[in-house]
Amino acid sequence: MLSFKGPRAKDLCDPHLGETRRAFLRVGGASLFGLSLPQIMQLQSNQAQAAEATGKADAHHSGGPGWGKAKSIIMVYLQGGPSHLDLWDPKENVPDNVKSQFKPISTKIPGVKFTENLPRLSQVNDKFTMIRSMSYTPNGLFNHTAAIYQMMTGYTTDKVSPSGQLEPPSPKDFPNFGSNIVKMKPLDEPMLPFVMLPRPLQESNVVGKGGTAGFLGKAFDPYTLYPPGDDMDMDKLQKIRTDDLSLRDEVFDVRLQRRANLRQALNEQMPVINEAVEKFELDQNYDRALSLILSGRARDAFQLSAEDDVLRDAYGRNSFGQSCLLARRLVEAGTRVVEVIWPKVANSDNHSWDHHSGLSKRMKDQSAPMLDNGLTTLIEDLDQRGMLEETLVVAVGEFGRSPQRGVSTSGNNNSDDGRDHWPYCYTAVVAGAGMKRGFVYGKSDKTASAPVDNPVHPAELLATIYHSFGIDPETIVYNHLNQPRELVKAQAVTSLMT
C-alpha cells in the first residue's frame, strides 16, 4: 500500500472528525481479512501476462476431452480424511475388522453401492464421476498438514518431519491451485476471484498451509471468509461480515468524488512516485476495487437470507451446508474459485473426518448427514440452474482411512471403532464442466487397500482441474527466486471427461 506521511491536519473531507494524522492515503479501504481490496483487484492487473502465458499453453497443448470447459470451480475439501469404506466404497465378504458397520445400499448406477450414510447422494451419482482409485505412497505424508499441502499445491515440501508436520505458511510456498487459476484466468468483471470459507486449512497449530498464493504474492491470495465462532457453531454463516465490501454509511457520492480528486491531485504533483510504483498499476487496482464496492455484486452474493427456506433446509442448516449454498451464490455472481473447507479441523472429534475413534456414531449422526445433504443439494442445484455445464465440483480429502479398524498406520492411537490414515487408496467425486456422468473410474481391491487399476495421484487430479480450465498443467511459473516451475508435474486424466 502506498503511504503519504505528513503532519497532523484537518481531514479535508471530514472536518467534523477533528484532529487526525493523515498517515496513509488508503486505496479501497482496509480489509478485515488481511488483504485489501486493491490487492485482490491486482489479481486482474496481470491480464496481459496471463493471456500470453495461457496462449503459449494453448499453442502447444493438444486439448482433448474436457479441455477448457470449466469457467469456475467449487472445491469441497473434506479435510481430515473421510473413510471411503464407510461412505462410497463399501466391501462385502471381508473380515469383520475391515467390513463397514454400515449397511450397503444401491445407487442410481447398477452394481455400484454406497453405505446407508449417503442415501441422498446415492440417488444423484448418475450426475457425477467417482474416482475410486485415488492413491499415493507417502514420504513423510502420513499426517494431515503435508498431505493437505500436496493436495492443494501438487507438491511436497523440503522440510517434512517423519510425522508429516510442516512449518507455517511461507511466501516461498507453492501456490494453492486456486491462486494459479485466477492468475492465469483473471476475471473481466467486478467480483472476488477466489474465496475460501468457512475456516482455514489447519492441523494443530499449523494454520493455512497450502491455502495461500505462496510465491505468486499476496495479490493472488484467496479472500478468506471466516465467520466468528468455533467449529461446533452450526450458525456461523449467519455471522458473515463483509464490511470491506461496503461503503460506510457516512461516505456518500460527493465525498467519494472529493477523495478521488484529492488522490488525483497528489498523483499529479508526484511524478517520481508515480514512476516508481507504475508497475503496481495502482490506478487500475483502485478503480477495480471501487467498482467491486459500488457494484454490490459480491456483497449481495453473501446474503443467504435471499434464498428460499426450503432450499436452505435441503443444503442443511449447518456451517457446511450453508457454505455449499454460499459457494453456489458466489459462482453465480462471477467468482472463479471457491474452496469450501470442511468446517471441523482435522485431528479432532465430533464431526471431524479424522475418525480414530467413535466412527460408527460420529459418522452416522454428524459428519455423513452434513456431507450427504450439502454435496447432494449443491450438485442438484447447479444442475437445475444450468450451471453444472461450466462449474467444476470436486469433493476429496487428503487421504482415506485404513481398511483395518483399530490398527496404527501413522503413529496415532486408534480404537476398535476407528480407522487410521490411509493414502494408498481412497475416493474422490468430480462433477460438471465436461466430467462424465454416472461414471466410476478406477477400482479398489477387495479390501479397499489399493487400486486394482487406474490409480490417480493427487497431482494428477490437480492437472485435470487445470486442463478443465484450458490451462496446460505443465505451464511454467516462476518462484520467489525466479526459478521456473511447472504448475504441477503430472498429466490430466482425460478419461474422466467427455
Round to whole Å and give the CA distance between 279 and 292. Answer: 22
* Alpha helix positions (H), 100-239: 144-153, 177-184
Q: Strand pairing partners for 453?
A: 443
Residue 147's contacts (CB-CB under 8 Å, 6 or more residues apart) are 81, 138, 141, 164, 398, 399, 421, 423
CB atoms near residue 123 (< 10 Å): 16
How many Cα neighbours within 13 Å face the side chain of 171? 5
The CA-atom distances, in angstroms, between 332 and each of 179, 184, 190, 336 are: 19, 20, 13, 10
Domain 72-239+305-496 has CATH 3.40.50.300: no
3-state secondary structure of 112: coil
3-state secondary structure of 20: strand
DSSP characters over 132-169: EEE----SS-SSHHHHHHHHHHS---S---TT---PPP
Domains of the chain: which residue ranges?
Answer: 72-239+305-496, 243-302
Decide: 446 and 91 in contact? Cβ < 8 Å. Answer: yes
The CA-atom distances, in angstroms, between 236 and each of 164, 207, 318 are: 30, 19, 8
Decide: 477 and 487 in contact? Cβ < 8 Å. Answer: yes
Round to whole Å and give the CA distance between 67 and 46. Answer: 23
Predicted confidence at residue 258, as pLDDT, reads: 64
The CA-atom distances, in angstroms, between 285 and each of 80, 282, 330, 399 are: 37, 5, 21, 39
- Determine the longest span between alpha carbons in the chain, in angstroms: 81
- Give the total residue count for the chain: 498
Segments of the chain with pLDDT less than 70: 1-62, 140-141, 158, 160-164, 244, 246-295
Residue 429's contacts (CB-CB under 8 Å, 6 or more residues apart) are 88, 128, 129, 130, 131, 375, 393, 394, 395, 396
Round to whole Å and give the CA distance between 410 and 391. Answer: 36
Decide: 108 and 440 in contact? Cβ < 8 Å. Answer: no
Residue 36: what are its φ and ψ, rounded to 5°? -75, 155
Decide: 157 and 408 in contact? Cβ < 8 Å. Answer: no
CA-based end-to-end distance of the chain: 46
Please state at what angle helix 458-468 crosses helix 177-184, rounded to 10 degrees: 20
Enclosing H/E stretch for 329: helix 319-333
How many Cα neighbours within 13 Å face the side chain of 359? 30
Q: Sort 185 into a burial class: Cβ within 10 Å, 0-12 / 13-18 / 19+.
A: buried
Decide: 109 and 92 in contact? Cβ < 8 Å. Answer: no
Residue 34's contacts (CB-CB under 8 Å, 6 or more residues apart) are 224
The 10s digit of each residue's pLDDT in 15-45 is 333 333 333 233 333 343 445 555 555 544 5
**Opening angle at CA 355, ends 354 and 361, nearest 5:** 135
Instruction: Rounding to the nearest 10 degrees, give the CA dihedral for residues 404, 409, 414, 420.
Output: -70
* Residue 28 grid coordinates: 479501497
Predicted confidence at residue 205, as pLDDT, reads: 85
Decide: 173 and 134 in contact? Cβ < 8 Å. Answer: no
Decide: 452 and 425 in contact? Cβ < 8 Å. Answer: no
pTM score of the predicted model? 0.83
